[in-house]
Structure 1
Amino acid sequence: MSALPKRTAGAEAFGARAFGMVRRRLRPVVGRVMSNWPGRILLRTGAAFVRLELFDRSMMLAAQLFTSVFPLLIMAAVVFGQRYGDQVADAAGLPEGTRRVLDEALAGGGFSAFGVFGALIVLISSTSLARAMIRAFGAIWLLPRIRRDVRFAWRLLAAVVLLAAAVVLVRLLILLAGRLPVSYLAVPVLTFAADSALAVALPWILLARAVPLRLLVPGGVVFGLMMLAVRPMGAVYLPRALLVSLDRYGTIGLAFTYIGWLYILSFCYLGAAVVGHVLAQDESRLGRFIRGGEQAPWQPVTPDGEPAPVAGNGSQM
């Protein structure tokens, strides 16, 4: 038994020496990678993904999207009537069977059918999505804790309502652009502009201008470019996946399919924000241009104007 601690200590010492040798051998490689712009951006983006635990954070955001945005859309369909309900169903890609269930639920439309208390509950509970996004953006930009009081509440509601409205508005934008003579160009251009604007507006509202607007633009552009590929794939994949899930597993299958798709969207959104942060803080000409000519990387400040302490992974927010 006495030999076991010696063996363990010897293994740990050997592991430390081996790790040190690997680190010394990798230093020249890392130095070469960091000396060129693509390698530097890629390495820093990967490091930020690990620091933020982006896969786990994306799943949390997807769950919040599912439980916050869909109730808002259903409430709006109840209030505004059958026509809006059809638009919601189109935007969500609902199968025919589920559309009939939604139509029956909306048959007695009107605000009285939903109730004032029910509407307040939906609105208040939906702000959990906004708070999750604040934590995510705070972790990406290494922000100090944002002070939130009664006056801050409108930002939470505005962000969630904007996100829910964008689901339907982008769908309408696609339909309108499809009627133009050059629809093959108009649709991607307009959806790129809408997705980019949404990706910039949400952190701008939720962070209370703690991050300069120009620094948020690269992340919005990256998200818009991502959605140029993701949106057509979703148009093909999602209706089929929903139909198969409904046939095999019923309503619960629809829920799981939607959460899986929302996970992809959440990962793209947070990943684009990370890439935008890396681009904005880089020492290259592009980074200096994004920062408005500033040589040094941007640093957050406290409400008193003092340099803010590094917030780590943002878990304290």
Structure 2
Amino acid sequence: MHAGRGSGSPTNGRAGRWRARAARLRARLLRLRNTAEERFPVITRLTSHLIAVNLLDSATRLAAQAFLTAVPLLFVVASFAPEGLRNQIVDSVHDVLGINGSADQQLKMVYDADSGSLRQSTGVVSALMVLLSATACSRAMQRLCQRAWRLSKTSARIAAWRWVVWLVTFLAVIALQGPLRNGFGAGLWLGLPLVLVTQVGVWWWTQHLLLAARVPWLPLLPGALLTGTALTVVAVVAKLYVPAALNHSLDRYGSLGAVFTVLSWLIGLCVVVAVGITTGAVIAREPAVARHLGSPD
């Protein structure tokens, strides 16, 4: 009995010390959290708001809608657009993603086909159906903006034309990415600032349009600045990463591998958009900022 107590006491002592250390560490972490909440309340509000927006779910839904509607819509553009516009879109995709190798061959197979045969296989009815289904991407973006600003849904009568306008505008922006990145021939020294200004302007206008002008312009500016800047940085990184990943997926897994690569890239983009817009909404409602921007309650 005496030996049992002697052999057990060191173990109990070590367990007690570990419990004491764990308790002290927990208390220290709680103090750090309370201190951070007191000094930086915006972090706490931002974290809770990102959870309320359901960030990953919103970004994944938006990416899925973009992928399911963008590919058919690109075929429609290829079949009905003039040759100059088709070439402009191809050049923009090349400039933005730096596509080469196997991915470049796949892209040329789609856009170098005869426009008449493409138009015949697509058909006017199919083109209209694709355009209408593509508004699902607009609706997903609208829901994201509404969640970020905690606004109720807009009636379909008010929002329907906004979905189409947003979609057409984004197609135009995609087509202009090539000339913008090249600074209209001047080079990257002008191209990157132009891309940044365009991204900020597009996301500033996007929020105002899809929120049906229920939020004034100035409170929407922080979200536009964050989203536009982040997407400009992501575009630079994508040109280094996407070509190699896309070619590797195509060579190893075929078209299915390319699908997963493009979808993963879209999810990353949509996460950036969701974080940027939501963070901007939280910042715009901070008391010190709201007084200057006139943010709604």
Normalization by structure 2: what TM-score? 0.81
Shift of 1:157: 0.7
Are 1:240 and 2:244 an aligned pair? yes
Shift of 1:255: 1.4
Which residue, out of 228, 233, 241, partners 1:229?
Answer: 233
Over the aligned positions, Cα root-mean-square deviation in angstroms equals 2.5
Are 1:190 and 2:194 an aligned pair? yes
Give 3-state SS (helix, strand or coil) of 1:108's partner: helix
Aligned to 1:145: 153
Identity %: 27
Aligned to 2:296: 298
Amino acid at match of 2:156: R
Q: 1:298 to 1:263 in 2, by over 3 A?
A: same
Q: 1:92 to 1:245 in 2, by over 3 A?
A: farther
Q: 1:100 to 1:79 in 2, by over 3 A?
A: same
Is the helix fraction higher in 1 or 2? 2
Contact residue 77 and residue 88 of structure 1 kept, 8 A: no
Amino acid at match of 1:298: P
| CA distance in structure 1 between the partners assigned to 2:195 and 2:42 by the alignment | 26
Q: 1:266 to 1:116 in 2, by over 3 A?
A: same
| CA distance in structure 2 between the partners assigned to 1:226 and 1:244 by the alignment | 26
Contact residue 170 and residue 194 of structure 1 kept, 8 A: no
Contact residue 62 and residue 141 of structure 2 kept, 8 A: yes
Q: Structure 2: 5+ residue runs without aligned partners?
A: 1-24
Are 1:219 and 2:223 an aligned pair? yes
Amino acid at match of 2:124: V
Normalization by structure 1: what TM-score? 0.76
Contact residue 130 and residue 160 of structure 1 kept, 8 A: yes
Q: Identify the range of structure 1 (244-253 vs 73-82) with the bigger mean alpha-carbon deviation.
A: 73-82
Aligned length: 267
Give 3-state SS (helix, strand or coil) of 2:152's partner: coil
Q: Which has the larger radius of gyration?
A: 2
Shift of 1:113: 5.0
Which residue, out of 135, 145, 158, partners 2:165?
Answer: 158
Q: Identify the range of structure 1 (254-263 vs 48-57) with the bigger mean alpha-carbon deviation.
A: 48-57
Aligned to 1:78: 79
Cα deviation code 1:40-83 (max 9, x no counterpart): 33332222222222112111111111122332233122212444
| CA distance in structure 1 between the partners assigned to 2:117 and 2:85 by the alignment | 11
Amino acid at match of 1:129: C
Give 3-state SS (helix, strand or coil) of 2:287's partner: coil
| CA distance in structure 2 between the partners assigned to 1:184 and 1:92 by the alignment | 16
| CA distance in structure 1 between the partners assigned to 2:32 and 2:245 by the alignment | 44
Aligned to 2:291: 288
Aligned to 1:179: 185
Q: Structure 1: 5+ residue runs without aligned partners?
A: 1-21, 292-296, 300-317
Which residue, out of 248, 270, 276, partners 1:272?
Answer: 276
Alignment of 1:8-19 (within 5 A): none
| CA distance in structure 2 between the partners assigned to 1:186 and 1:127 by the alignment | 33
